[in-house]
Amino acid sequence: MQSILKHSRRLVIKVGSSLVTNQGRGLDHSALAGWAAQISSLKQTGKEIVLVSSGAIAEGMQRLNWDKRPTALYELQAAAAVGQMGLAQAYASCFSQHQLKTAQVLLTHEDLSNRKRYLNARSTLTTLLKLNIIPIINENDTVAIEEIRFGDNDTLAALVTNLVEADALIILTDQAGLFTSDPRKNQHAVLINEVSAGDPEIEKMAGGVGSSIGRGGMQSKVIAAKRAARSGAHTIIASGHETAVLTRLAQGESIGTRLLATMPVLAARKQWLADYLQVRGSITLDVGATKALIAEGKSLLPIGVTKVSGDFERGEAVACLDLEGHEIARGLINYNAIETRKIMRKASSEIEIILGYVDEPELVHRNNLVLL
């Protein structure tokens, strides 16, 4: 499995505080320039990149002339507010050297736990990727309170991996990867090259906390890999201090630890759709739409729907029935029940005229649909 990145199209890359700051003394602009150069190289091979970057609080501390990371929540939020300005500006400048545009996206746990906000975040990120823009994501420390924090950017990176249905998650840190024990305490610790994500034994091996600059430790990275695997994404944990680590990984070189998902992205998503989501309503399809789904593997368009039952919201699971009432598929619907009733039997080109906006031309996209 040394070619994880070689065959991955969409990647989430997480860089920790120690890799983007001068030991907590503000941003390391030369390091940021290096990440921009490597990511530009990956982009040239056709890959889509989402970057999850720490560094805002460290930059804010430097701008505020604070030598020690504060513990008071409001002071951390103030540092984040000041530092986000510098972080976004620095990345924009570095990527512009490669004719690439960036976008800053700040998320809280509420954004990914609330269904509507989750869908809005996903739509924004996928649109940015289609526009060839690199989303740079961080936790919205300015407004997040302790009860709704992700806790560290490893967790955030894993949830973003699920959100955008990435093929792989790369967690770059100041450690070479996952060892059999803490290499800082045990000189006989051995680097683990490859393991199954979610293996309970590896969580026991991953101990310790993060640096004084960041919050995450190796254990948070292992748990993040387990989260990413739920949507079929593999994870690589590697040292960001390795020369050209991203480009070498993309070329198939074995660096760090590979934590493998047990099933591919689409299969994992479809199992989730079939087994775990509660159906909130149903839509009945005509013969043409039924054939398009079953025989041709196409998305479901509103023109093929003859009946809508139930009261569902955008993004909830609905059953797709044939004219005899048999459930042939289920999927995540792009419009709520009221809107679906308005646009059923209509061409996709009429959606905006009828609703006043268009979110997606499909009622259910084939990637969000599983045949039963």
Split at pLDDT 50, 70, 90, the class of 275 is low
- The answer to whether 154 and 224 are in contact (CB under 8 A) is yes
Q: Minimum mean pLDDT among 182-191, 192-201, 219-228: which range?
A: 182-191
Asked, for residue 298, whether it belongs to a domain, the answer is yes
Dist. CA 78–CA 60, nearest whole Å: 8
Range of the domain at 350: 277-371
Q: Are 119 and 149 in a shared domain?
A: yes
Q: Are 258 and 173 in a shared domain?
A: yes
Average pLDDT over residues 69-89: 89
pLDDT tens-digit readout, 87-133: 999 999 999 999 999 999 999 877 777 777 888 888 899 999 999 99
Q: Are 251 and 313 in a shared domain?
A: no
Domain count along the chain:
2
Q: Are 186 and 47 in a shared domain?
A: yes
Q: Are 159 and 34 in a shared domain?
A: yes
Q: Is 194 a residue whose pLDDT tops 60?
A: yes
Q: Are 223 and 283 in a shared domain?
A: no
Asked, for residue 2, whether it belongs to a domain, the answer is no
β partners of residue 104 = 136
Domain closes at, from 232, 265, 298:
265
Model-level pTM?
A: 0.81
Average pLDDT over residues 165-184: 88
Q: Are 218 and 356 in a shared domain?
A: no
Tell me the pLDDT of the chain averaged across its residues. Answer: 87
Q: Are 287 and 307 in a shared domain?
A: yes
Half-sphere exposure of 244 (CA within 13 A, CB side): 9
Asked, for residue 171, whether it belongs to a domain, the answer is yes
pLDDT at 1: 46
pLDDT at 208: 47
Residue 366 structure tokens: 């084939």
Dist. CA 177–CA 180, nearest whole Å: 10
Dist. CA 165–CA 170, nearest whole Å: 14
Asked, for residue 1, whether it belongs to a domain, the answer is no
Residue 119 structure tokens: 């869908």
Query: In angstroms, how far apart are the furthest CA atoms of the chain?
Result: 71
Q: Are 295 and 246 in a shared domain?
A: no
pLDDT at 144: 62
CATH number of domain containing 186: 3.40.1160.10
